[in-house]
Structures are given as structure tokens and as C-alpha cells.
Amino acid sequence: MNIIEKIKKAGLVGRGGACFPTADKWSAVAKNLARNNKKKSYIVCNAAEGEPGVKKDGYIIENFSEQVIDGIKIGLNFFKAEKAYIYINHKYYKKYKRQLTKAIGKAPIEFFIKPVNSGYIGGEEGSILNAIEGKRIEPRLRPPFPTEKGLWGNPTLVNNVETFYNISLVNAGKFEAKRFYTVNGDCLHAGVFCLADNLKINEILKETNNYPNFSFFVQVGGDMSGEVLNSKQLEGLASGSGSITVYSSKKYKPYNLIKNWLDFFLNESCGQCTPCREGTYRLAEVLKSPDIDWQLVVELLDNLDETAICGLGCVISVPIRSYVNNVLSKEGDNWPKMKPKEACECFK
């Protein structure tokens, strides 16, 4: 049984946020190499971790660097790849360079430090490939996908730190249906925890002694792009990047919270596509008005959902819509069904 068959049997999915089946991605690289055996291939480990509120990659590197590197080496050997790159943010590089270098040994694995000014978008798959190639750091249009045309036009495997860690466990026959969760915010025991991957959000909070005894809501999947849920909506899984941030209902003013999200996306937009570049600016302007045009806000978010080139533009609506619908709306009314006056009042 080769490694792809082992990965498929384990049911492993990527842990970078998209939860794409890992075996499918590895299979796509293998098929594209088979079509043209003269092509080179490359491996990229994404250790950028630029989403606020997600800290699992740093925890994994600190505690399991040998397994992460082993997972990369397995990819190198299986694809007979030219080289592997660890695309890593500068803080992690400074902190973990020594132990990672020791684990790498003489393997053809090279560090590529994420440019400090590349921001959130610098951790996007296409942006990573452009950065390594020395091009402008911005998302690539897809298709073609990196598995077909990645680094310098060659099939390239891009996986997250946790995914390579799991590859090592799968290959050694030690993989269990677990994943790493980051728990943050208004809780007593914030940290990274390795628990069963089928735990519900409320179960994770209880298991880690972080279930609040006060009125609260949570954001799941990152402090900027994650979905916001009220305390009665915690029966689902902590999907995506596996982070849960707890918010005290009395501590946060709606305007400040939404402004924080919008300011982040406004500053982090690479400016490549008009919907994201202009849409985030227009949203910020509309929400400054004392009499907010909520229908216009909805239309701007719809436009971003449907036309933005990359994940950054597409996820702007996620925290805003879910926060208004699940936390601010009264009696379960869905936005924009709320009366404009009521919506403006609850937003202040």
C-alpha cells in the first residue's frame, strides 16, 4: 500500500482551512507527473499562519517538528521532488529555525521566510508560489491549480503544517482521528489542544475547561474570517482551521467588532481585484453613516462573495453576516429582514 492509499484509508483532510481531501491533492500531483515524466515537482509546507486567533501550527512545530519534517520527506521521496520549501512566518523562523534545521538534516528542504509586508494574503496558496518565484505577492487565477502548474509551471504539492504532521503519523500507522484546536478569547485556559476531530464546539469548550458561565458567543475558524455563533448554536464541528474564540456578550460593542473585521480586510487586501479593493472601502464608508443603508451592505457583501478572486474577498461577509444574523438579530430574524431602524439601533 503506497502513501496515497494509506492517506485515503485514513480519511485525512487538509487542516489549512479548506478541509480538502489530502489523498485527492496528492493523487492530482501524481497524475500530472505521470502525464509528463520530464516535469519536475516541488513540495511546499505552508507555515505562514497569518489568521489571527489560529496558533496551532506554531504549537505543532514546537512540539512535533520531527514529524512535520518527516511528512515533508515522505512527499519528497514519493514524488521524487526536486526540492521542498517551508514557507514560514518570520516569528516562527526565528523561534524554531534550530530545531527544524536539525530535523531536516541533509534533505533538500529550504526555508522561505514569508515577507513581513505580505500580510494575510501572503499565506494564500497562489501568493506563496508567487513569493517563492520572486513575483508580486498576490493570488493566482485557478485553474490551473498548483497540483498541475505550481512552482515554475511544475506540479506542486502545497500542504499545511498539521497535514504534514498527520502524513508522518499515517505512514507510521499511528494516525488517530484527532486534530488540533486553538481556543482563545474570554476564557481561563486558552491554548492549543489535540482532541477528537468529531467533537462539537460545546464539547471542546467543556473538555478544555473553557465553557463560559456568562453570556457569550463564539467565532469559529479564525478571529477575522470565522463564522460567529451564539451560545445555542454550538452543536456543530469546529471546522476550517479549528479555532474557537470566546466573546463575552457584554464586553464587545457591535460597531467596534465589525469595524475591527472590516479594518483588517481593508488593510490586508492586495488590491489585485476591484471587488475586494473597492468593496471593502465602500463597506467601511457605508457603515460610518448614522443611518446605515443595510440593503446596500448586503449587496456589497453579495458582490464580494460572487466576484472576488481569492478567499480573502470571499470570506469578508462570513463574520459580518453571521454576527448580525446569529447574535444581533432579535427573535431569529434574518438580516436584512430586520427593520432598518432596529438594525441600526442594535449596531450602535
Give 204's Cβ-side CA count (13 Å radius): 33
Cα 48 to Cα 52: distance, rounded to the nearest angstrom: 11
Tell me which DSSP letter residue 151 carries. G
Closest of 243, 325, 241, 310 to residue 280, by C-alpha: 310
DSSP 66-90: HHHHHHHHHHHHHHT-SEEEEEE-H
pLDDT of residue 290: 78
- The parts of the chain modelled with pLDDT lower than 50 are 331-333, 338, 340, 348
Q: Under 8 Å CB-to-CB from 173, ≥6 apart: which residues?
A: none
24-51 burial, b for 16+ CB within 10 Å, e for fewer?
Answer: ebbbbbbebbeeeeebbbbbbbbbbbbb
Burial of 295 (0-12, 13-18, 19+ CB in 10 A): exposed
Q: Angle 299-302-306 (CA atoms, 0-180°, nearest 5)?
A: 140
Supply 172's cell numbers: 507510521
Within a 10 A sphere around the Cβ of 80, how many other Cβ atoms? 9
pLDDT of residue 342: 54
pLDDT of residue 88: 97
pTM of the full predicted structure? 0.91
State how far the alpha carbon of 233 is from the alpha carbons of 177, 182, 201, 241, 249, in Å.
24, 19, 9, 18, 15
pLDDT of residue 16: 67
Supply 238's cell numbers: 469546529
Within a 10 A sphere around the Cβ of 215, how many other Cβ atoms? 12
DSSP 218-277: EEES-TTTSEEEETT---SB--TT-EEEEEETTT--HHHHHHHHHHHHHHH--S-SHHHH
pLDDT of residue 193: 98
- Describe the chain by its helix, strand, coil percentages, rounded to 5: 45, 15, 35
Q: Delineate the domains of the chain, giving CATH numbers in brackets.
A: 3-171 (3.40.50.11540), 178-248 (3.10.20.600), 254-347 (1.20.1440.230)
